Amino acid sequence: MGIFSKFIAKIKGENAFAPSDWQDLERELLASDIGPTLTQSLLDSAHKVKSENAQEALKATLTSYLSTQSRAPITNPEGMTVVMVVGVNGTGKTTSVAKLASNIKSSGSAVVVAAGDTFRAAAVEQLQTWGSRIDVEVVSGKPNGDPASVAFDAVKRAAQSQAQYLIIDTAGRLHNKSDLMAELEKVKRVVEKVAPVSEVLLTIDATTGQNGMAQAKLFAESVSVTGIILTKLDGSARGGIALAIESELNIPIKWVGTGESEADFAVFNASEYIEGLLA
């Protein structure tokens, strides 16, 4: 039984909770990475809760911080759906691109992926290995080539092969590097000359702390992020920063990555996530 459940059990019974219980609860909430601000706000709510359904009440409070945006994938009704996957280095973009492609393919749609990470050594090969593993076409350019031109060519290639989806992988970049963010904006702009970008997915590593907020904010400003892929949720990290992002920036988590195989990928489930935060 998690510390949170223990705490709830105490509220349910005698209301006999000591200051040390509150400290334990604070510790537990902070440990989930939701951040000190949300933690304080939750503690305030917890102080007001009296009743049998304390656990439900707190879950409801947490749930109320979630984004109100739809979590359904955005598609292009008039033609090929173009999805860009963006994020900081090492958050799992390439793996997520492969998983997403595999997911779309198994639902019966034709999908092509573009190896737009021309910067990191062997990133293109990494995606190609994935491509042959999941049997999806990978369009690539030259190493250190212009990522915008790879993406542009990929749109044409995908259209030729009558794909319904094109997923563009991009190089990892730190959100505070304005030149790299400008490059990303250019990729999107160039693609949009030939096809609208329906969805921009940002990978957030579940182990990320409060910096995840800055990442989401700056990527959203640059390329209008439409959803989050919360990666590496299979570890001991609970990914609480995503809740803070949902609450503050109203960007919905759409997908969750939980492992190294293409099957370790699922649509975001709000109640599982919230329960995980309190585990």
Where along the sequence are the contacts to another protein (CB under 8 A)? 26-27, 30-33, 35-37, 88-92, 119-123, 125-126, 128-130, 133, 174-179, 205-214, 217, 232, 234-238, 240-241, 248, 260
190 or 237, CB closer to another protein?
237
Six token digits for residue 270: 């709000």
Element (H, E) at 11: helix 3-13
Task: Tell the smallest beta-carbon distance from residue 27 to another protein (Å).
Answer: 5
Question: Cα separation of 253 and 265, whole Å?
Answer: 13
Q: Which residues contact 69 (CB under 8 A, 6 or more apart)?
A: 250, 251, 252
Closest CA to 13 of 50, 63, 66, 57: 50
Q: Which is nearer to another protein, 140 or 198 (CB)?
A: 140
SS3 at position 227: strand
State phi, psi for 50 to the nearest 5 degrees: -135, 135
Between residues 198 and 208, which has the closer beta carbon with respect to another protein? Answer: 208
CB of 122 to another protein, least distance (A): 4
Mutual orientation of helices 178-194 and 211-223 as an angle, nearest 10°? 40
- Write out the H or E segment, with its range, that includes residue 88: none
Instruction: Please report how the helices 54-63 and 270-277 are oriented relative to each other, as an axis angle in degrees rounded to 10.
Output: 110
Nearer to another protein, 1 or 121 (CB): 121
State the minimum distance, in angstroms, from the CB of residue 247 to another protein. 11
The 197-205 sheet, strands edge to edge: 137-140, 111-116, 165-170, 81-87, 197-205, 227-231, 253-257, 265-267
Nearer CB in complex with another protein: 35/147? 35
Q: At what angle do helices 36-48 and 241-249 cross, to 10 degrees?
A: 90
Shortest approach of another protein to residue 115 CB, angstroms?
11
- Sign for the pseudo-dihedral over CA of 12, 13, 18, 23: negative
Residue 114 C-beta: closest distance to another protein, Å: 17
* Least separation in angstroms between CB 257 and another protein: 11
CB of 101 to another protein, least distance (A): 14
- Which is closer to another protein, CB of 32 or CB of 226? 32
- Of 92 and 227, which has the nearer Cβ to another protein? 92
